[in-house]
Chain A
Amino acid sequence: GAVVSQHPSRVICKSGTSVKIECRSLDFQATTMFWYRQFPKQSLMLMATSNEGSKATYEQGVEKDKFLINHASLTLSTLTVTSAHPEDSSFYICSARGASGVNYNEQFFGPGTRLTVL
């Protein structure tokens, strides 16, 4: 199956700093990538949908200025948590859908990034 990677897998940062998380489709081109957030013992909540070369579409209640998403190429999307605070500590997961030829019915998920803000 298609492989999606995330980097870093775990990050600890001080309050007020910005953190960038990368999501890469390794063996396919992804026109659409999705960013999710998961608090402990809770479900995945979609934050935003990003399409290559265009602005991301954010879900209601998600601050676009705080969670900057860039989908600059068909294999890379980045999520930057700006001025992170302890309440931003969470598990961030990306997923990717293929441009063509890949099963349209499936999103391929990355392994996730655990962010801890001190």
Chain B
Amino acid sequence: AQKITQTQPGMFVQEKEAVTLDCTYDTSDPSYGLFWYKQPSSGEMIFLIYQGSYDQQNATEGRYSLNFQKARKSANLVISASQLGDSAMYFCAMREGRGFGNEKLTFGTGTRLTIIP
């Protein structure tokens, strides 16, 4: 079974609108972390936001927020007031464990977001 599932290969959104990128995960470890990264065409991976499995509040970072629904095992990324510069690939990733060792990140297949002017 896939550990990270991103079901939207591509999305087109009008500039200034909000957009939600879906991510579901599968793990039996009670300790885990969920990440979202942005990868523009240049290739670098830009960290956006992190949510720990024990965090009570949904994570927020500026225009990014993570809609964490633990029972449903979903960690959707919400981008408010989208901008043309938001056009990129977006990857959801999971780290199983508490993060004090060599726990690796497992990435989803990504969603290509295109912002339309």
Contact = CB atoms under 8 A, between A and B. Distances in A.
User: How many of chain B's residues touch chain A, expressed as a range?
Assistant: 20 to 34
Interface stretch (B12-20, B44-52, B71-79, B80-88): B44-52
A104 B7 CA distance: 29
A49 B104 contact: yes
B50 A111 contact: no
User: How many of chain A's residues touch chain B, expressed as a range?
Assistant: 20 to 34
Contacts, number: 53
Contacts of B47: 1, 106-109
Nearest to A6: B44
Given A43-B110, A105-B99, A34 B45 contact: no
A34 B107 contact: no
A114 interface: yes
A60 interface: no
A44 interface: yes
B11 interface: no
Given A51-B102, A57-B102, A104-B100, A109 B110 contact: no
A105 B59 CA distance: 13
A43 B3 CA distance: 13
Contacts of B33: 105
B28 interface: no
Nearest to B101: A32
Interface in A57-112: 57, 91, 93, 95, 104-112
Interface of A: 1, 32, 34, 42-46, 49, 51, 57, 91, 93, 95, 104-112, 114
Interface of B: 33, 35, 37, 42-47, 50, 52, 91, 95, 99-100, 102, 104-110
